[in-house]
Structure 1
Amino acid sequence: MQAAANSTPDQDLVIDGADLSNVTLVGKVVSCAERAGNIDLQISDGTGVISITYFVDSVDSDPQAVPQKVAELRPGTYVRTYGHMRAFQGSWSISAFAVRVVHDFNEVTYHCLQAIFQHMHLAKGAGTGTGGATQQQQAGINSYSGPAAGGWQQKPQQQQGGGYGGGAPVAGPPGMDPCASAVLQVVSDPNTGDSGVHVNDICGRLGPRGFARPQVEAALTFLQNEAHCYTTCDENHWRAT
């Protein structure tokens, strides 16, 4: 809220010296309503309330997708959302590409601890530069596979050079099929840049491993629905969350 008060619509939000564009937020649903085929949410994370517009990808193929999602996101439910910060008429909101219900309250605790850690690292541990913070944030994000049975489980460490781009590959959560896990490795490459990896490049990398394009596209849809990746500059470029 302080960052929004100190910024203008033509600027990115700046928190602890770092530009804020893509965000993940965990909080409680205050209100939820359908509007023009999308979902308008008000989410409170304990520090304030922010508006979220959620664009449901499956609405074209399933007319009931939005009503079902509205019923799922009832007020009082804790959710995690991923999206982009947007400024409109002097106020900030989130344009979300994924919203999912939190089933394990450990995720809420973890998110609060991660927010504290990132604040302390950016404010005190990284000096004035953001390069170290970016690497630390990437390491922190890639160290967890998400809530599983019994709470958060740390991903296994793998040898340097095993993944794409020379970095350590990102392991998918337990039970993820091999194609989805392989796609997640590709889109998690830290050297892909802001635009991410083109689907043709993903298919080219995974083709020799026996994964056909329909499998790759199905895996991308699955990963997006599970909030593991998202599209960037267009629907063909992908990055890991």
Structure 2
Amino acid sequence: MDYSNNYSTTSYGAQGGATGGGFMPGSQSETPSGGKRSYGKDTLRPVTIKQLVDAHHPHPDAEYFMIDGAETTQVTFVGQIRNISTQTTNITYKLDDGTGIIEVKVWIDAETFADPSHPGNEKPKPVEQGYARVWGRLKAFNNKRHVGANIIRPIQDFNEIQYHLLEATAVHLHFTRGPPEALQQAKAGGANGQMGGMQQGNGAYAGSKADASGIRPLPAGASRAARGVYQTIKESPQTHEGLHMSDIATRSGMDVGEVLKGGDELQSLGMIYTTVDDSTWAILDV
């Protein structure tokens, strides 16, 4: 699967004609050159809300965001609706997917909204505390982020929640570690521990224990806090749920603030992941 140019693995069931959420390269006409980017380069990427919150502009004038170092335009995600607010021109949904909370705005078609017999009003509607899938574009206004949605629809098969998170994880790993083929080649390298050219400098695993377990070494530029957190998780007895940050602080002698800073760095590097809550981490093996 090649996620670098577009994302088209799963059919999400977005129906709505021209307002559908799956925008692929060439699906829209390009705008004249004049500083604005071409919408013909749009892609559709599955994400978590935390990724949307952490996304950044590559430069001050950019109209798009970067996630995992890759340009991101159209996104899709799944979450539970915590609140619905109906305004004159739009409906605002507040969605929570367990990694964060973000507002989703859907603009109202006045003609459709006012006509109960319109076919568009016969479709199932998202409800508070229910789950929904969103297709849209991440936007920022007055330093507050929201998603301008093309479509939002209620989740009817709850398996969709799980496979969405798996797809978002697969794409995240693709951009942070490289394609699966490179990882397979790295494992096949055995004793030399090379990461198929994905790591710069000395890519060998640090010792035979790391070779056997498949745990990657930290990048050379990792901070002291990140190294302390990573080493503590790696060497401490634990269940499959990992270690809570307060436990890491006790075992390592670090203060909680330093542990939290190190944990955030490790998550951004794709070295650890959260388990039972946002403060409990485990090492993400190769």
Question: What TM-score does the superposition give when structure 2 sets the normalisation length?
Answer: 0.39
Larger-gyration structure (1/2): 2
Please report the TM-score for the alignment, with normalisation by the length of structure 1: 0.46
